[in-house]
Structure 1
Amino acid sequence: MGFQIYDSQLRASSALLASVELLSNRERLIPNYKCGIHYHPVAVIVAPDSYVCVTVAPILALYKIPQLIYGSASVLNNKVQGAFIHQMFPDETHQYMGILYLLQYFNWTWIGVLYCDNENGERFVQNMLPILSKSGICFDYIQCFHKPDFLSEIENQMKEAIQRYQIAMDSSASVLVIHSDSHILPILRMMVEFLIGEDVPVKTKGKIWIFTTQMDFTEFNFQRFWDFSLLHGIISFAVHSNEVQGFQGFLQTRNPTTEKEGGFLRSFWENAFSCSFSHSPVYGKKTCTGEEKLESLPSSVLEMSMTSHSYSIYNAVFAVVYALQSIYSSQSKKRAIVKGENHEISNQLPLQFHHFLRYVSFNNSAGEWISFDQNGALIAGFDIINWLAFPNNSFMRVKVGTVDPIAPADNALTISKDDIMWPSSYNQVCPLSLCNDNCPSGFSKRKKEGEPFCCYDCIPCPEDMISNETDMDACFECPEGQYPNNGQHGCIPKYIVFLSYDEPLGVTLAILSLSFALLTALVLGIFIKYQDTAIVKANNRCLSYVLLTSLMLLFSGALLLMGQPHNLACFFRQCVLGFIFTVALSCVLAKAITVVLAFNATKPGSKMRKWMRKPLVNSIVFSCSYIQAIICVISLVTFPSFPDFDIHSMAKEIVLYCSEGPFFLHYSGYGMVGALAVLGFIVAFFARKLPDVFNEAKCITFSMLAFCSVWTSFIPIYMSTKGKYLVAVQVSFIVASSATLLICLFSPKIYIILLKPELNKKQSLWRTRT
């Protein structure tokens, strides 16, 4: 196949002129005048530059000439013109997703975007940026590069481009995604050289540039010996390519001195080797011999391996060949013979060529299957390329990954992180590109007002919550039965606790309870020994025996609250202590009433003498105890207490305790105890001034006052205490309240019995009364 090459010279006018020349007689350029044209183009391979596509498409569409674009095609409003475009490029959405996968893989959430002011750039901004935003990528800036016009106003346009470039370089974002045509790279290099010449600090080595597939390496001839460090560490996307066997050998055998390979190759040879084939000497240039070695050229002048764009052109040529072959095969038996001459296939191509080209598929010489989808886009993936720059003004492209559009999203990106060479300023450490540092585990994010959602503050999790990943939006609670560790980034199982006899607090309370129980037993023994004395007989010694026995049971029963709860212990806890308290306080109340009745009954004509009998005292104790017993039975029958777990009240512990049943039943028993204490205090208070050596009213009044004070202080302490210490508080107050009754009521009597026996006589009682 023959071919013609036209240079657009980075100008739409040159691209338009080239399209007209392609369809006209070389000697006589007259649009739409085809007489004398010997070569009819069957297809045109168009560069991916946006201005070329938009300019060439309307002209070539008039002649129904297919255009194979080895880049993402521009959007054409005219559907007729767009129908003749065939893309040697995959669906551009796959490239968008590949960029997203790459950013997510390295956790680059804070980026900048540079794009060219053309149709491709606008489409990139409209389609790509929403995808990134929805996936958690933020933009520090989005800058548009205007393509400089090299014929007019270049100085103003370059200043504007430099201003945007400096914004990008001064940004806190380490990653720049650049979408443009292939001409942007020489312009970027030109701006860097200009800034260096103006002594302006240039920050290029601290940025990771990500090029889209549309971009490729090009340079102006005067840039040949410029610094290449700008390219080091660049990551670019490229349409998947493969090494074509024999390609380098083919290049090495090219000879520009032969007539067959003259023209374009000769012009390239002169520019590449800075020589001339002219017989007349050219100033500053040596004479070309044709024996120069292409492999000796730096990669900036010629890359000996087939690049992605070259591979796309290679496949485009073969697509045309296979389409022509299909047409030729289908028409070989149907050729019309007109005046003994065959019609040229090319004269019939516009009617059939598009159909065959759209559905062509073949294996190329690299062993890869080439085909197109229903939209005419190439079915292929993308390669991820890492650019390496060397001090000898050469560079190399290294394939470090791929994007497979057919694979699931989790496996679409394949990349070798260790093979990537980062810019030298990163010391081969994977760079970060974040608006702020990641929030570590144990912290959560809080958005900064007026800034993008990628910018946030890190706040510690509350005490009872954790975050076990970086950059969590909110902390969360541990599962039941677990609590946060010290760093609040994990959960630890809670351990079961109860007030044990083995710990110091339990031992102390147990010794205290047993000591008072023994002391009470000692007092009871003294009372039994001196039961016939006046002070023991006074105020009903049977009540004293019952009261002392109740106090002794209270001191001993406090031990039921300690130790590991079990069914039997919970059963006794629920009612026994409340019942014993009721018996003890009813005895105190009966003693107070006995004192009042005793002194009032001694008055002449008093009608209270008939109440001074034992049945009255017994009925008081029995009736109070009976009411408390009914409450206990109801509680046991309806809501029996059982061992239970409290996993919420303590942060790090599961408290083993006995369930208390409904609030009303549980506190009605304690209400009975409180009512008896208050009533006993009131009765004793009014009898406190009655004259008698053995008057217990003062002792009862003081003991009830102390008892009520203990229980009044007990309530707020009990309500504010949690865990096993709640049991310790209960034991302490049982012991304390019982001890007040024991000490206040019986210590004066023991003092008289043991130390003042002369007062323990009936005569002393009568003397005092008279």
Structure 2
Amino acid sequence: MEEIEVRWLGDGTNTVSQRIFLAEQSLLWFRLEFYQQFQAIRFAVEEINKSPDLLPNITLGFYIYDSCAVLQRELVGTLWMLTGLDREIPNYCCQEKPALTAVIGHSMSTYSILMAQILGLYKFPQISYFSTSSLLSEKTQFPSFFRTVPSDDFQSRGLAQMVLHFKWKWVGLIAYNHDYGTEAIEVIKRKVMKEGACVAYTVYISSNLLYQNLHTIVKMIKESSANVIIAFSIDIYLTPLLNEMLKQNVTGKTFVASEAWSISDILAVEKYSSLLAGTIGFAFYSSTIPGFQEFLNSINVYNTPGIYWTQKLWEEAFGCTFINQNNLTDTLNNFKKQCTGEENLNSVQNNYNDVSRLRASYNIYTAVYVIAKALHDLSHCQATDGPLVQDHFSDRGHFEPWQLLEYFKNVRVKLKNSREVFFDKDGNPPAVYDIVNWQLGLDRTSKQVKVGSYDTLNSSGVIFSINKKLMWGPTANQEIPISVCSQTCPVGFKKAIIEGEPVCCYNCVPCAQGEISSQSDSNECWKCPWDMWPNSKRERCFPKPNEFLSYEDYLGTTLAAISTLSSLVPISVFKLFINYKCTPIVRANNYSMSCILLVSLSLCFLCALAFIGYPQPEMCLLRQAAFGLIFTLCVSCILAKTIIVVFAFMATKPGSSLKKWTTPQVPYMIITICTFTQLILCVIWLSFSPPFPQYNIEAKPGIIVVECNENSPFAFWCMLGYLGFLASVSFTVAFLARRLPDNFNEAKLITFSMLAFLSVWVYFIPASLSSQGKYTVAMEIFAILTSSWALLLCIFFPKCFIILFRPAKNSRENFMRKQAGTT
């Protein structure tokens, strides 16, 4: 029966013979959990050797080498394993059978890097159960390195996701100034910043207290607004920092722990509870190993390899001491009771036989099974990328390390907990972490409670999950700590980056007019659609109200009523003129022309109704043209009346050539020509650039003004200008003829009417330009009504007054008397 030897290289932090130097006291401290890890390899090897399915008829063995956490000893031990001699001779092997198949170790990344560089040259498979540096994933430098723990790259992604999960935007970073800390902290910095958070500071701590100013570092941590601190370090190197934080009374900080100290018993004491209670972090995946606790409790001093360390276990577990035959005086002076070796480990419960959540021991156990499975596959010459010859292995274990290395790359091991272990192209296993929360117990010490997991192979697809309530701080508060550089910007505001500061430090500024932000901490505000407007908080868009001068509006109703009632007044005057058409005052002022003028004035009042109501396309097309034509007809009648008065007076002079212009057809010709000219202007306007309804969103913020767009302002002002020109001519002629000696001379009345008419429309121009929305329309209606009333009152009120209240003046006798007096 062949014996294949697996040599397991111990390390400075996780082996039985580890010595730990504490900053507070110099002593050799026997760590029970490290001795448990030694027994884990024994248990796995014995379990495999008893298995009929895995490596049948092949026995595994192992050596353990302690480097005492000294880098030089690590180099010596590695060469010793390769050469098989007391003297380390590179490139020379004097090793007797059985062959060295693989190396388990180191736990510290720096030491593993040194080992991997040497073992990689010889293609010897190396499996670490605790080295997490992402540098070791570089296969060009470390081709034979594998590990049963995830790379720090996975942990960094998980921690970044944790920061995102708890909405921490402003974090501090603390790293052990070594390969483990410096490399990991750079990765976590990139990942955290990629997730949108910012780093307030980065602090590196060293094992040498002479080269770091802890007072200054802690003062910076205390004064920083970052309330969350991510720490990548080994527990013993955090103690000086924590002591200084206690000294400066630092409070309100929450630690996020890396796997190297997330389950530390050194820090989970009452002394640090005010600082570390509420800590949350990643820990290596924990599991149980069936039968392992019984195996641990079954050992005794006399049947276990490494009797010296078994005695140390006994002394630590039972508080006794073994007699030192070489120094009886020291033994007699020791007040502890004497160990007999017959004590039962079942009677104690400590870190050695606590198997409730195995982590490092489980990883070592897994590493042994990975080696065994790779050897098993090699022994059966299963297919691989590098074809092997079966005789090479069957010949008493003669095979080359690179041949076994090929099987390591493709190995798949299904453990008793149903989890499958394999390696990716970088030699990393599937990333699985426990999320632990430090919660205070009744004894004021911190208990690491599993509250969730980070599992990249979770069948449900949920990689990061929290499934238990978290306790934060020494008061066991369940509210998630807040760690931000700037407070959250509420809805309706956006972030304005402060120049020279990280993106997480910003001011909150309200969204501009017409913009919203529906989420807190928005980087930008968004414009509402053209037909919508923000609410008062600027968080939602609501449809803009439509504004137009409607009949339901109080202003619209009032103007419509005035317009309608006003249109009845010219009709009443017209009826009055019909009744008194034979009277001198009516006949003297051209009865027919007066009737046309009264009808056109009535239409002027009514055309104001075309400007009230929802702007329909037809109304927009016709209302300005109708207004222009009706008022042109009205002013043309007044102009004709004025010119006839002048012609009639001038024609009475002997030899006047104007007598032919005093015929009845002349006023109608004037009216026709003037009105037709305006008609041509309107037809051209409506043909080439017709008005149309539009939604004006710029006139009033938050309101859609439904209005008629004149389309061609030039055409509109041409129409209005022509009307003004006719009114100016009428005013000029009337003004010149105001003193003509004629009975019932209308020149004075026309002068006042045209003066009022022109004043109204001159005022309308600036008023319309300064008003907005429906008030622009209201101003035009007001101008129409006012100018119409000005014409009606100035021209017809005196006539009506005489007809109704001074009938004596409206007689032929009075008319002839005045004519005689005039002549």
Give your verdict on TM over 0.5: yes
Q: 2:102 pairs with 43, 64, 72, which one?
A: 43
Which SS does the other structure have where 1:492 is aligned?
A: strand
- Preserved CA contact (<8 Å) 1:252 1:294: no
Per the TM alignment, residue 456 of structure 1 is displaced from its structure 2 partner at its CA by 1.2
The question of 1:143 aligning with 2:200 is answered: no
The question of 1:352 aligning with 2:411 is answered: no
Distance 1:713 1:100 in 2: 70
What amino acid maps onto 2:473 in structure 1?
P
Normalised TM-score (structure 1): 0.86
- Residue aligning to 2:248: 200
Which SS does the other structure have where 1:320 is aligned?
A: helix
- Residue aligning to 1:421: 471
Which stretch of structure 1 is more off in the superposition, 358-367 or 667-676? 667-676
- Residue aligning to 2:154: 94
What amino acid maps onto 2:777 in structure 1?
V
- Residue aligning to 2:776: 726
Q: 1:168 pairs with 209, 221, 228, which one?
A: 221
CA deviation profile, 1:611-668 (whole Å, cap 9, x unmatched): 2222221111111111222334444555666665545544444444455444444443
Distance 2:332 2:822 in 1: 155
Closer, same or farther: CA 283–738 of 1 in aligned 2, 3 Å: farther
- Residue aligning to 1:16: 72
The question of 1:452 aligning with 2:452 is answered: no
CA deviation profile, 1:408-462 (whole Å, cap 9, x unmatched): 9x96543227622222468311222211111111111211122111111111112
Q: 1:746 pairs with 790, 793, 796, which one?
A: 796
What amino acid maps onto 2:256 in structure 1?
I
What amino acid maps onto 1:283 in structure 2?
N
- Residue aligning to 1:400: 451
- Preserved CA contact (<8 Å) 2:8 2:104: no
CA deviation profile, 1:252-286 (whole Å, cap 9, x unmatched): 54545644574434424433554434474563544
Q: 1:594 pairs with 629, 644, 661, which one?
A: 644
Distance 1:678 1:577 in 2: 18
Closer, same or farther: CA 174–690 of 1 in aligned 2, 3 Å: farther
The question of 1:763 aligning with 2:811 is answered: no
- Preserved CA contact (<8 Å) 1:294 1:302: no
Distance 2:648 2:244 in 1: 119
Query: Where does 1:504-583 land on structure 2 (aligned, <5 Å)?
Result: 504-566=554-616, 569-570=619-620, 572-583=622-633
- Preserved CA contact (<8 Å) 2:514 2:534: yes
- Residue aligning to 2:357: 306
- Residue aligning to 1:244: 289
Distance 1:238 1:93 in 2: 14
- Preserved CA contact (<8 Å) 2:511 2:525: yes
Distance 1:407 1:668 in 2: 79
- Preserved CA contact (<8 Å) 2:697 2:705: yes
What amino acid maps onto 2:275 in structure 1?
L
- Residue aligning to 1:112: 172
CA deviation profile, 1:163-195 (whole Å, cap 9, x unmatched): 324422431112222223xx2x23323433355
- Residue aligning to 1:698: 748
Per the TM alignment, residue 692 of structure 1 is displaced from its structure 2 partner at its CA by 4.8
Distance 2:782 2:479 in 1: 64
Per the TM alignment, residue 767 of structure 1 is displaced from its structure 2 partner at its CA by 4.9
Distance 2:673 2:333 in 1: 134
The answer for unaligned runs of 5 or more in structure 1 is none
Query: Where does 1:336-375 land on structure 2 (aligned, <5 Å)?
Result: 343=396, 345=397, 348=399, 350-375=401-426
Closer, same or farther: CA 226–498 of 1 in aligned 2, 3 Å: closer
- Preserved CA contact (<8 Å) 1:655 1:724: yes
Distance 1:463 1:422 in 2: 42
The answer for unaligned runs of 5 or more in structure 2 is 1-5, 14-18, 22-67, 325-330, 382-387
The question of 1:379 aligning with 2:379 is answered: no
Which SS does the other structure have where 1:403 is aligned?
A: strand
Which stretch of structure 1 is more off in the superposition, 25-34 or 493-502? 25-34
- Residue aligning to 1:85: 145
Distance 1:764 1:262 in 2: 157
The question of 1:72 aligning with 2:132 is answered: yes
CA deviation profile, 1:378-409 (whole Å, cap 9, x unmatched): 1334443323232426543333333344689x
Closer, same or farther: CA 240–195 of 1 in aligned 2, 3 Å: closer
Which stretch of structure 1 is more off in the superposition, 601-610 or 475-484? 601-610
Distance 2:69 2:288 in 1: 36
Which stretch of structure 1 is more off in the superposition, 746-755 or 651-660? 651-660
Distance 1:600 1:336 in 2: 142
CA deviation profile, 1:545-596 (whole Å, cap 9, x unmatched): 1111111111122122223444654554253222111101111222232333
Which stretch of structure 1 is more off in the superposition, 325-334 or 490-499? 325-334
CA deviation profile, 1:508-532 (whole Å, cap 9, x unmatched): 1122112222222222222222223
Closer, same or farther: CA 446–687 of 1 in aligned 2, 3 Å: farther
Query: Where does 1:596-611 land on structure 2 (aligned, <5 Å)?
Result: 596-611=646-661
Which SS does the other structure have where 2:213 is aligned?
A: helix
- Preserved CA contact (<8 Å) 2:11 2:105: no
Distance 1:600 1:581 in 2: 29
CA deviation profile, 1:186-239 (whole Å, cap 9, x unmatched): 33234333554xx42222xx223222345454466x996744443322222234
What amino acid maps onto 1:493 in structure 2?
P
- Preserved CA contact (<8 Å) 2:636 2:671: yes
Closer, same or farther: CA 424–734 of 1 in aligned 2, 3 Å: farther
Give the share of equivalent positions with the same residue, in percent.
Answer: 34
Per the TM alignment, residue 693 of structure 1 is displaced from its structure 2 partner at its CA by 5.8
Normalised TM-score (structure 2): 0.81
Q: 1:31 pairs with 73, 88, 106, which one?
A: 88
Distance 1:223 1:636 in 2: 90
- Residue aligning to 1:432: 482
- Residue aligning to 2:391: 334
Which SS does the other structure have where 1:75 is aligned?
A: helix
Closer, same or farther: CA 166–187 of 1 in aligned 2, 3 Å: farther
Distance 1:579 1:359 in 2: 96
Distance 2:93 2:275 in 1: 48
Which SS does the other structure have where 1:670 is aligned?
A: helix
- Preserved CA contact (<8 Å) 1:499 1:562: yes
What amino acid maps onto 2:108 in structure 1?
D
Which SS does the other structure have where 1:709 is aligned?
A: helix
Distance 1:706 1:99 in 2: 83
Which SS does the other structure have where 1:463 is aligned?
A: coil
Distance 2:700 2:767 in 1: 16
Distance 1:126 1:97 in 2: 12
What amino acid maps onto 1:67 in structure 2?
Q
Closer, same or farther: CA 328–269 of 1 in aligned 2, 3 Å: farther
Which stretch of structure 1 is more off in the superposition, 662-671 or 431-440? 662-671
Query: Where does 1:426-505 land on structure 2 (aligned, <5 Å)?
Result: 427-505=477-555
- Preserved CA contact (<8 Å) 1:53 1:73: no
What amino acid maps onto 2:105 in structure 1?
V
Distance 1:5 1:77 in 2: 21
The question of 1:618 aligning with 2:668 is answered: yes
Aligned length, in residue pairs:
746
Which SS does the other structure have where 1:290 is aligned?
A: coil
Per the TM alignment, residue 676 of structure 1 is displaced from its structure 2 partner at its CA by 1.7
Per the TM alignment, residue 365 of structure 1 is displaced from its structure 2 partner at its CA by 1.7
Which stretch of structure 1 is more off in the superposition, 742-751 or 35-44? 35-44
Which stretch of structure 1 is more off in the superposition, 381-390 or 539-548? 381-390
Closer, same or farther: CA 253–726 of 1 in aligned 2, 3 Å: farther
- Residue aligning to 1:321: 372
Closer, same or farther: CA 554–629 of 1 in aligned 2, 3 Å: same
- Residue aligning to 2:112: 53
Distance 2:481 2:409 in 1: 44
- Residue aligning to 2:49: none
- Residue aligning to 2:40: none
- Preserved CA contact (<8 Å) 1:381 1:404: yes
Which stretch of structure 1 is more off in the superposition, 457-466 or 682-691? 682-691
- Preserved CA contact (<8 Å) 2:615 2:693: yes
